[in-house]
């Protein structure tokens, strides 16, 4: 090589190397960003229902379309009850889980379209309607729309045997639901909420529009479901945790969001039936001695006093108000479990549970309302009891109430306290214009007292004259009877009565309260 050309070659070679290097850089893949990490879907929980209810309350109320195919709309009650869910189609029937879910078909008076979702591993999936889920019996349904939806739901659980599933609760109609435990038959109802009950205007009936039911775990003894409530005045979010058993109790959480002012808000409402009983002091043309789902209202006052108010079927609407601050609970109970006192082989009133509302958290000041409505038949629920808070209920308010609802045959009262077991009223044998009241109390401690125990009756009346008050032991039943006569004053209206048994200054019994009206 000519040395004179070296100065030329080195720049050329350098240029070629640079070009080749640039080419290599040009085709090298650019660094890729790390793969996108997607967050796992948020598991469904109660706060989702709360948010849905809160947002719903900010919008004008829209009534759900209740339009039904004519075939379903024209069904009478008997025809409707012929539509039954097929047991082999029950949800979880093939999974050996402790609960099974069935649904109610829409029709007759149950026109609201209810959406039902199943929550499995945190994911909520709508439950699809199909006419194939139902046995229509002798009815011949036409082709039904695929989006017809459901009217409600019911739940089954093995109370007696592992292989035999008993119906333990159902939600059907507005915000009504019922439950029953071991050895019980359905009786009184509970509701999500009562609005303007007992006022001189139409009552408002909120509706559970949507449910979310959590799939239970294997061998679980409880089931959780959520509900979205809606009405012209408010929307609400509910959580129910069901614990079936001898004492079937339901833990209830309520969150309420108000569209407008509510005059009377009823929290934890209970509805029952009282047609006639041992305290009915007018003729009832009925071969059965007593006909009722519940026979008394019990109150656990914040003072520690326990108050029992026997129910009645009044001639006129009767509203009783029991004021308190932070009560321990209230309920509609059945204390008479003697079949001989009912003599109804089909209805089995002696097996119908009482319902006790055990308050949880701070309920504040308010009152328990007892409403008794005149009734001429046992098919009507003419008794209602609920808590009314003192705080004003206005547009934009948010309220929260928690409670535990017990459906049980067991009798609730303070430990050791003599409970009211019967109330009887009739003409006084001593004074022709007076009324005789006889109230029987029972407890293990009262049973041990001899007939010479120094017990006394404490009786008060809002009007009229009280005479012949006495306390005596019934050796046949081991109960104690408090009796007295009331000479009413003309044109004084209802008489409020209170009575209890004392030993010295010690109270041995519940406080018996009663509102008596002249015939």
Question: How confident is the model over 342-360, as pLDDT tens digits?
Answer: 999 999 999 999 999 999 9
At 168, is the pLDDT very low, low, confident or very high (cuts 50, 70, 90)?
very high
Point out the domain boundary residue: 385, 408, 431.
408
Number of domains in the chain: 2
Mean pLDDT of the chain, nearest integer: 91
Whole-number pLDDT of residue 492 = 85
Asked, for residue 28, whether it belongs to a domain, the answer is no
Residue 339 has pLDDT above 90, yes or no: yes
- Of 446, 439, 443, 447, nearest to 499 (Cα)? 439
Question: And the tokens for 130?
Answer: 């199909």
Q: What is the pLDDT of residues 21-42, one digit of tens each?
A: 333 334 455 566 666 656 667 8
SS3 state of residue 99: coil
Instruction: Decide: 192 and 208 in contact? Cβ < 8 Å.
Output: yes
Q: In whole angstroms, what is the distance from residue 332 CA to residue 354 CA?
A: 6
Question: And the tokens for 220?
Answer: 């679980």
Are 127 and 230 contained in the same domain? Answer: yes
Are 390 and 434 contained in the same domain? Answer: no
Residue 302 has pLDDT above 90, yes or no: yes
Whole-number pLDDT of residue 38 = 64
Task: Please tell me the least confidently modeled range out of 128-137, 473-482, 485-494.
Answer: 485-494
Q: What is the pLDDT of residues 244-296, one digit of tens each?
A: 999 999 999 999 999 999 999 999 999 999 999 999 988 999 999 999 999 99
Burial class (CB within 10 angstroms; exposed 0-12, middle 13-18, buried 19+) of 235: buried
> Any residues with CB less than 8 A from the CB of 497 and at least 6 apart, and which?
437, 459, 460, 461, 462, 486, 512, 513, 514, 515, 516
Are 376 and 445 contained in the same domain? Answer: no
Instruction: Decide: 408 and 246 in contact? Cβ < 8 Å.
Output: yes
At 416, is the pLDDT very low, low, confident or very high (cuts 50, 70, 90)?
confident
Burial class (CB within 10 angstroms; exposed 0-12, middle 13-18, buried 19+) of 361: exposed
Are 271 and 394 contained in the same domain? Answer: yes
Residue that has been written with the tokens 């019967």 in this structure: 422
Whole-number pLDDT of residue 27 = 44
The pairing of beta strand 234-243 with beta strand 248-258 = antiparallel
What string of DSSP letters covers 269-325?
EEEE-EEE-TT--S----SSS-EES--EEEEE-TTS-EEEEE----SS-EEEEEEEE
- Of 499, 494, 495, nearest to 484 (Cα)? 499
Question: What does the angle CA 184 – CA 187 – CA 190 come to, to the nearest 5 degrees?
Answer: 115
- Of 502, 397, 394, nearest to 453 (Cα)? 502
Are 397 and 432 contained in the same domain? Answer: no
Are 313 and 218 contained in the same domain? Answer: yes
- CATH number assigned to the domain comprising residue 255: 2.70.98.10
Whole-number pLDDT of residue 469 = 97
Residue 11 has pLDDT above 50, yes or no: no
Instruction: Decide: 423 and 481 in contact? Cβ < 8 Å.
Output: no
Instruction: Decide: 86 and 133 in contact? Cβ < 8 Å.
Output: yes
Q: In whole angstroms, what is the distance from residue 187 CA to residue 337 CA?
A: 14
Are 76 and 114 contained in the same domain? Answer: yes
Q: In whole angstroms, what is the distance from residue 158 CA to residue 160 CA?
A: 6
> Any residues with CB less than 8 A from the CB of 338 and at least 6 apart, and which?
350
> Any residues with CB less than 8 A from the CB of 149 and at least 6 apart, and which?
106, 113, 114, 115, 129
SS3 state of residue 413: coil
Asked, for residue 23, whether it belongs to a domain, the answer is no
Give percent of the chain with pLDDT exceeding 90.
Answer: 85
Whole-number pLDDT of residue 199 = 94
Whole-number pLDDT of residue 80 = 96
Q: In whole angstroms, what is the distance from residue 353 CA to residue 374 CA?
A: 23
SS3 state of residue 72: helix
Q: What is the pLDDT of residues 216-245, one digit of tens each?
A: 999 999 999 999 999 999 999 999 999 999
Mean pLDDT of 462-476: 96
Are 110 and 168 contained in the same domain? Answer: yes
Q: In whole angstroms, what is the distance from residue 309 CA to residue 332 CA?
A: 10
Handedness of CA 170, 234, 322, 437 (dihedral sign): negative
- CATH number assigned to the domain comprising residue 474: 2.60.40.10
Are 367 and 449 contained in the same domain? Answer: no
Are 478 and 366 contained in the same domain? Answer: no
Asked, for residue 27, whether it belongs to a domain, the answer is no
Are 403 and 442 contained in the same domain? Answer: no
Task: Residue 217: give the domain boundaries.
Answer: 46-408
- Of 468, 476, 478, 414, nearest to 446 (Cα)? 478
Largest CA distance in the chain: 153
At 20, is the pLDDT very low, low, confident or very high (cuts 50, 70, 90)?
very low
Which of the two residues, 86 and 412, has the higher pLDDT score?
A: 86
Are 423 and 508 contained in the same domain? Answer: yes
Asked, for residue 76, whether it belongs to a domain, the answer is yes
Task: Please tell me the least confidently modeled range out of 15-19, 317-321, 381-385.
Answer: 15-19
Whole-number pLDDT of residue 414 = 74
Asked, for residue 307, whether it belongs to a domain, the answer is yes
Asked, for residue 40, whether it belongs to a domain, the answer is no
């Amino acid at each position: 090589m000519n040395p004179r050309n070296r100065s030329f070659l080195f720049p050329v070679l350098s240029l070629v190397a640079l070009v080749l290097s640039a080419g290599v850089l040009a085709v090298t893949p650019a660094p890729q960003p790390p793969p996108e990490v997607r967050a796992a879907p948020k598991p469904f929980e109660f706060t989702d229902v709360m948010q849905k209810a809160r947002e719903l309350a900010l919008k004008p109320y829209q009534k759900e379309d209740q339009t039904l195919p004519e075939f379903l709309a024209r069904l009478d009650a008997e025809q409707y009850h012929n539509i039954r869910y097929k047991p082999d189609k029950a949800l979880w029937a093939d999974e050996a889980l402790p609960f099974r879910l069935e649904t109610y078909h829409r029709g007759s008076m149950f026109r609201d379209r209810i959406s039902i979702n199943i929550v499995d591993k945190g994911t909520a999936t709508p439950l699809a309607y199909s006419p194939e889920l139902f046995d229509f019996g002798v009815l011949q349904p036409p082709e039904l729309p695929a989006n017809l939806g459901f009217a409600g739901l019911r739940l089954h659980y093995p109370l007696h045997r592992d292989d035999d599933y008993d119906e333990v609760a159902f939600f059907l109609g507005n915000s009504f639901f019922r439950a029953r435990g071991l050895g019980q038959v359905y009786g009184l109802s509970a509701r999500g909420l009562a609005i303007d009950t007992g006022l001189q205007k139409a009552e408002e009936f909120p509706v559970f529009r949507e449910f979310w039911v959590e799939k239970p775990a294997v061998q679980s003894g409880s089931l959780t479901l959520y509900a979205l409530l809606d009405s012209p005045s408010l929307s609400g979010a509910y959580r129910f945790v069901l614990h079936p058993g001898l004492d079937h109790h339901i833990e209830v959480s309520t969150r309420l969001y108000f569209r407008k002012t509510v005059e009377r808000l009823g929290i934890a409402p209970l509805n029952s039936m009282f047609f006639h009983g041992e305290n009915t002091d007018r003729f009832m043309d009925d071969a059965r001695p007593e006909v009722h789902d519940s026979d008394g209202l019990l109150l656990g006052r914040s003072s520690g006093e326990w108050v029992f108010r026997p129910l009645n079927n009044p001639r006129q609407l009767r509203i009783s108000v029991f004021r308190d601050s932070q009560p321990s609970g209230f309920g509609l109970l059945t204390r008479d479990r003697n079949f001989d006192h009912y003599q109804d082989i089909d209805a089995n009133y002696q097996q119908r549970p009482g319902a006790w509302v055990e308050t949880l958290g701070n309920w504040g000041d308010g009152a328990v309302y007892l409403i008794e409505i005149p009734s001429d038949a046992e098919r009507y629920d003419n008794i209602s009891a609920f808590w009314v808070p003192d705080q004003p209920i206005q547009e934009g308010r948010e309220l929260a109430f928690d409670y535990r609802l017990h459906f049980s045959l067991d009798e609730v009262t303070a430990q050791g306290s003599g409970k009211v077991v019967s109330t009887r009223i009739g003409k006084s044998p001593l004074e022709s214009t007076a009324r005789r009241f006889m109230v029987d109390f029972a407890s293990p401690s009262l049973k041990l007292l001899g007939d010479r125990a120094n017990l006394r009756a404490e009786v008060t009346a809002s009007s009229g004259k009280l005479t012949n008050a006495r306390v005596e032991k019934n050796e046949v039943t081991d109960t104690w009877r408090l009796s007295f006569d009331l000479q009413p004053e003309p044109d004084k209206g209802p008489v409020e009565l209170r009575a209890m048994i004392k030993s010295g200054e010690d109270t041995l019994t519940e406080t018996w309260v009663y509102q008596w009206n002249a015939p």
